Every structure is written in C-alpha cells, then in structure tokens.
Amino acid sequence: MVRLNSNSSNDSTSAASSWDRLVAEVARAPEIAPSQLEPGQLAGEYRIVSNLGRGTFGAVYRAVQPVIGKEVAVKVLNARFTQSADVVQRFAEEARAVNRIRHPNIVDVFAFGELPNGQKYYVMELLAGRTLALHLAERGALPVHEALDILRAIASALEAAHAQRILHRDLKPSNVFLVSDKQPAEGVKLLDFGVAKSLEGDSGLTTEVGVLIGTPAYMSPEQCTGGSVDQRSDIYALGVTAYELLTGSRPFPGPLSHQYLAQHLFEIAKSPSSLRPELPPSVDAALAVLLHKQPEQRPASAVLAIEMLERALAPGAAVAPAPRRGLRWLALPLLAAVLAMVMVWRFRAAPAAPQAKPVGVAVAVTPAPERPTIAEPTGPERIAPAVSSTPLRARSAAPKLAPAASVSSELSFEAKGSPRAASTGSATPRSDLEY
C-alpha cells in the first residue's frame, strides 16, 4: 500500500489528514518488542493456540473457544499503537465495515475486544488455504472457467460492499483467499478492509484529496491522482485482477511505484489475446472497458462488469470495438500533422525547375483581316497534334507567315494555326517524398 501526499503551497496551512497523522504516529511510535501472545493465553473467551503471521500493525493467531471447540483467527493490534487514536479507530473501522457487509465471500468478523495491557483485537473466521497471489505464482494464467468462477465471487463480494456504501480501495490477488476443499461460490474470500472507505461519511475518518491510498499496481487512474473515488475505482482494480488471472501477468509492468502511477494514467495495456492467443478478441474489448481511464466509461457495478466479461468469453462472442482510451487517440492526428509539416518543408526546400532562357528572336506575322477556315484533312494528310518541335506546314488555303528571321524551334502552332510556346526543359514532378 502506498500513501503519498501531493505538495501544494495552497494547502500549507490546512490541517493534516487522518492518514498523515497515522503515518506520523507510526514513525514516532516507540519500538516495542513484539508482544507475542503465548499458547494458552486468553483473548476474551478464546484461548491462543499458535501464531499465524505478523505485520506492521499487528499479528494474527489461531485460537479456539474452549467450551465448544470452535477454531477462530484473532487479529491483535501492535502494542506500539495502543496510544494512537487514529490507528485504533481505523482498526475498529475495519471490523465494523466487514460486520456491516456480512457476505459469504467476505471474511466474517464477529467479536471485538481489548487485552489487559490495552491492545485491541478482533475475532474472525479461521481460513485454511492460500491467497490468490500464491495460487497465480504457482499456476500462472488460469483456465478460463476457473478464472471466471473466482471473478464472480469477488464481484459478488464487491457488490455487497458497495450496497453498504463501502469501497475496498485495495483489491488485489494477495487480498483474496482461496479456501481449501470449497467451491468458489463459498471458498473465495475477500480480505483486508483496512483502507476501506465509507461513502456515508459518518466514520469520522477522511482521506485528504491528494493522498494516494492503495497498491500502485492495482490503483485506478483517479486513485493515482488522489482524486475522489467511487465504486468504479474498485471495478478498475477488478479489471486489473481479471487481466492477471487470464494472462498470467499484470497489464502494466511497473515495477516502481511512480512508474505504475504513470502507466495507469497514460499508457494502454497490451491486448490480452496478444499474450494468450486462445483468448478471443472480444475479451480485449471487454477488459478495455474495465480498464478505461475515465470512470464514467466503466460498468456501473461489479456484477455488470463480470457479466460483460462472461459474454466476451462465450463461444462465438461478437467482437465489440475497444474504446479509445488514454492519449492513444491523439496519435493519428499528430502523425498527420507531422507528415504535413514535412511535406511543406520538402516542397519549400526543393530547388526550382530551370527556366528556359529567352531566345530573343523577332517573328513578324503577316496580319490577316479574318481567320481562314482550314478544311479538316483526312487520310495520310491529317495534321498531327501540336507536339512537334518544328512548325507545321499549313495547306495552300492557309495564310503564309513571313518571318523576318529564322523561327526558333521553340515555337509551334496549334492545329488551327494559333501560336503556342512549347514546354521545353520543364521539371518532372517530384515523387521521392516518403510517407
């Protein structure tokens, strides 16, 4: 997850956001040795069995209810944050958000409490299996039917969260858990609502505009700019996840955070069918809609997004044109403009065709009171078009010219006797321009 503040002089006097304070609390919190809960220790009514994992904000333990034997997972907040109101409030908000949604494809949280030393914890269902990220690392691109089963379950979980006006904001394969020995309808679980956002605005936790929340490889363009987000931001992340399930790779390579942000904003992903030829071109168009740079061009809900993808993957699916996204649509006009500039420059830079020098020969023509009519000859005496370099001889009925000097060979006559300058030495039109 990345949280980056956009620097602006206009915001220099504004109050720090809750995330700013949270990050500051993390930096200032004293380094306390991890308060490892020992086997047999109680967290409320649950007895700790073993440690399952540890992160920056806390640890997860396997525990059991000693009376009925129900196994659970207990997430305990790190002791160094027990005095941070912001961290504690976000920890509680994660549990509250999950409990509000209550969906079979979202991990269930059913208890919240405090240890004797002040550490907060919540109790959730214990899952046996592995994350979707580990599954992809081992398998690569998934079979189409398996990918669709997983995506349907994720979309169903997102739809339930959005119905409660809750955005996940950090959807990615490592936050999706595949439960062993269960079908996807029940065995796919969406995890980690730690950066979830309530659109109701009643949680008391706000994210300042310009603060980036999420994982760079899966963030929507509007998340990358720190702008306002709605459910279509989660749908973009769903599109990135679908792309990865079907091709075995992410749509944008990164690998650095700032590179991911630029790629989400300005670059176009390779067509999935170019990475996996057995995918129909209709899938390219469907994923292009899910990954559209403009939120209003994406499907309005996660279920609609998956239904569109299912139609694209159906046998004989019609190929819909992929929408123009990002800045790619500017390429053709820019190329045309550059070519036009090159053509103008080449024509201006081309040397002028050599002009014929004046001969300086005076030609005297005997005036005639009226133009005689020349009979149209037939047969071998037919006059050829005026393309010869020598004057034509008129028939006896035509008036004769009385030249004062020999006539230049650059003077010719039309078939009906009108003089015309021959085009000698004219340059051949240029045809060496390259496009």
User: Under CATH, which architecture does the 34-125 domain have?
Assistant: 2-Layer Sandwich (3.30)
Q: Is the dihedral of CA 399, 401, 407, 408 positive or negative?
A: negative
Residue tagged active-site, from 11, 20, 170, 284: 170
Any idea where the domains of the chain sit in the sequence? 34-125, 129-329
**CATH homologous superfamily of domain 129-329?**
Transferase(Phosphotransferase) domain 1 (1.10.510.10)
Q: Which residues pair with 76 in a beta bridge?
A: 59, 121
The whole-number average pLDDT for the span 248-267 is 92
**In terms of pLDDT, which residue wins out, 167 or 428?**
167
Query: For the segment 387-407, what is each residue's pLDDT rounded down to a tens digit?
Result: 444 444 444 444 454 444 444
* Distance in angstroms (rounded) separating the CA atoms of residues 129 and 181: 9
Whether 170 sits among the annotated catalytic residues: the reply is yes
**pTM exceeds 0.85, yes or no:** no
Q: Is the dihedral of CA 211, 214, 216, 220 positive or negative?
A: negative
**In terms of pLDDT, which residue wins out, 412 or 230?**
230
DSSP 101: H
- If DSSP codes are grouped into helix, strand and coil, which group holds residue 207? coil
Query: For the segment 39-74, what is each residue's pLDDT rounded down to a tens digit?
Result: 999 999 999 999 998 877 889 999 999 999 999 999
Ranking 44-48, 234-238, 284-288, 390-394 by mean pLDDT, the lowest is 390-394
Exposed / middle / buried, residue 117 (Cβ in 10 Å: 0-12, 13-18, 19+): exposed
What is the band of 312 on the pLDDT scale with cuts at 50, 70, 90? very high
The whole-number average pLDDT for the span 68-85 is 91
What is the band of 276 on the pLDDT scale with cuts at 50, 70, 90? very high
